[in-house]
Amino acid sequence: MTTPPFAPRRVSTRRAVALLAAAGALAACDAEQTPQFAPETGQLSGVVFLDADNDGLFTPTQGDALRPGAIVRVVERGSRTGAPLAVDTADLQGRIAVNVKAGTHDLLVDSASIAPAFFCGGQRATVRSAEPAFANVFVRGGCVIRIDTAKTRPVGTAVTVAGIVTAAPGRFRTQGDNLYLQNATGNQGGIQVFGAAVGGLNLQEGDSIEVTGNIGLFNQEIQLTSPRVGANIRRAVRTVPPLVLRTGQADSARGPILANNGIGNANMGRLLQYRRARVVSVATTGTPASGANIEVTDGSSPVQAQVRLAGTTFTGIGTARFVVGRCYDITGILSVFSLRPQLLPRTTADVTEVPCP
């Protein structure tokens, strides 16, 4: 019997393609023919400068100045301690230029290379493949700190604070050279800003501003002197509600909240309100009269609280608005004079007559 010749099994077309693909992949791996992945890169350039007007833009006419020699590091976004992706030192024109992988990165400036200026952080740049990117790298005369922290610094210390204007220039002085500032909730207290630089900016209550100045002391009230208001003003951000206090809480002998002067007083410079406060007396001061002290009480303490009218409020609000024996809701800034707290109403809207309790 003759043995029939061998007949190979049929292989489906789909399986044949799969086998060929697998064989090709193995051959490629074995031969190490696939190139390694190379990250895409792009060029990042920029200019480093002292941002005197706090607006993030290089404007020499506003006092901005280039910072040659500043060392700039590009790091992974969110990393403050990781190895830099690139480093460059600003040239005589304050310029930097680096090649760096594509992506969004943080920019850091070495403190020693810009002293006595400060790098306050928060600057990022997005780099795209084969596409030039540019970044303003700005440093400042001071980084923003809390108002209550600033008030603990020694007299003469330069600080930068930010907050909402609670008393606009011109509310208390015809010269228009002072204002009051506090954060939106008031939990950092408030501070007076005193100096001619605050005039001419048309600042109003509710504006958000950033101010750099020196800690000063006048009549035991801490203030910010020689101020420089940043150009990054935001108008009509919000109205700050006053903190409601009993008149007894302004009594330095009994009040647990207020000290007898501005130093260490958490509420000095803050917008406050007395409610249903009865007028006990009204006495003008100065010859000729240029101010008035109004003594009020809501019955919370045997010692009365003082409301002060002086400067523009003496004529703008006037003593006739306060009638002895009647009661008022009175809003104002807490200040101090001769070691006694005084509430300074700003306009007639701060004094509203209400029924006595």
Task: Verify that 340 and 320 share a domain, yes or no.
Answer: yes
Is 156 exposed, middle or buried, given 0-12, 13-18 or 19+ CB atoms closer than 10 A?
Answer: exposed
What's the CATH number where 197 sits? 2.40.50.200
Stretch 281-298: mean pLDDT, rounded? 96
Task: Verify that 134 and 169 share a domain, yes or no.
Answer: no
Q: pLDDT category, 35, cuts 50, 70, 90?
A: low
Q: Which residue has the tokens 């000063």?
A: 216
pLDDT value at 13 more than 80:
no
Beta bridge partners of 161: 211
**Dihedral angle over CA of 239, 319, 308, 313, nearest 10:** 50
- Other C-beta atoms closer than 10 Å to the C-beta of 138 total 25
pLDDT at 38: 60
Which pair of tokens denotes residue 147?
């108002």
Task: Verify that 350 and 289 share a domain, yes or no.
Answer: yes
Task: Pinpoint the alpha helices (H) of 274-327.
Answer: 312-316
Which pair of tokens denotes residue 209?
């501003």
Stretch 171-179: mean pLDDT, rounded? 95
C-alpha to C-alpha distance for 232 and 63, rounded to whole angstroms: 14
Q: How far is CA 219 from the centre of its chain?
A: 27
- Of the candidates 267, 208, 214, which has an alpha carbon nearest to the alpha carbon of residue 239? 208
User: How much helix, strand and coil, in percent to the nearest 5, is found in the chain?
Assistant: 15, 40, 45
pLDDT value at 33 more than 60:
no
Task: Verify that 306 and 336 share a domain, yes or no.
Answer: yes
Least confident of 179-193, 240-254, 297-311: 240-254
Task: Output the DSSP codes for 90-112.
Answer: --TTSEEEEEEESEEEEEEE-GG
Q: pLDDT category, 176, cuts 50, 70, 90?
A: very high
pLDDT at 18: 46
Q: Which domain holds residue 162?
A: 147-229
Domains contained in the chain, number: 3
pLDDT at 290: 94
Q: Is residue 76 part of a domain?
A: yes
Q: Is residue 29 part of a domain?
A: no
Least confident of 89-93, 194-198, 280-284: 194-198
Q: Is residue 261 part of a domain?
A: yes
pLDDT at 53: 87
Task: Verify that 46 and 129 share a domain, yes or no.
Answer: yes
- Other C-beta atoms closer than 10 Å to the C-beta of 205 total 19
Contact 123, 140 (CB under 8 A): no
C-alpha to C-alpha distance for 237 and 259, rounded to whole angstroms: 31
Under DSSP, the state recorded for 351 is E
C-alpha to C-alpha distance for 102 and 39, rounded to whole angstroms: 8
List C-alpha distances in Å: 222 to 47, 193, 257, 334: 37, 9, 17, 12
C-alpha to C-alpha distance for 193 and 186, rounded to whole angstroms: 16
Stretch 178-192: mean pLDDT, rounded? 93
Q: Is residue 11 part of a domain?
A: no
Q: Is residue 289 part of a domain?
A: yes
Q: How far is CA 211 from the centre of its chain?
A: 9
pLDDT at 185: 87
Stretch 234-254: mean pLDDT, rounded? 82
Stretch 31-59: mean pLDDT, rounded? 82
Task: Verify that 71 and 166 share a domain, yes or no.
Answer: no
Task: Verify that 276 and 347 share a domain, yes or no.
Answer: yes
Choose the final residue of a domain: 159, 194, 229. 229
Q: pLDDT category, 11, cuts 50, 70, 90?
A: very low
pTM: 0.80
3-state secondary structure of 330: strand
Q: Which residue has the tokens 């029924």?
A: 355
Q: Is residue 347 part of a domain?
A: yes
For 64-107, write each residue's pLDDT tens digit: 999 999 999 999 998 877 789 999 999 999 999 999 999 999 99
Q: Is residue 25 part of a domain?
A: no
Q: What percent of the chain has pLDDT over 70?
A: 85
Task: Verify that 158 and 252 share a domain, yes or no.
Answer: no
Q: pLDDT averaged over the chain?
A: 87
Amino acid at 88: D
Under DSSP, the state recorded for 241 is P
C-alpha to C-alpha distance for 53 and 66, rounded to whole angstroms: 14
Choose the final residue of a domain: 229, 261, 295. 229
Q: Is residue 307 part of a domain?
A: yes
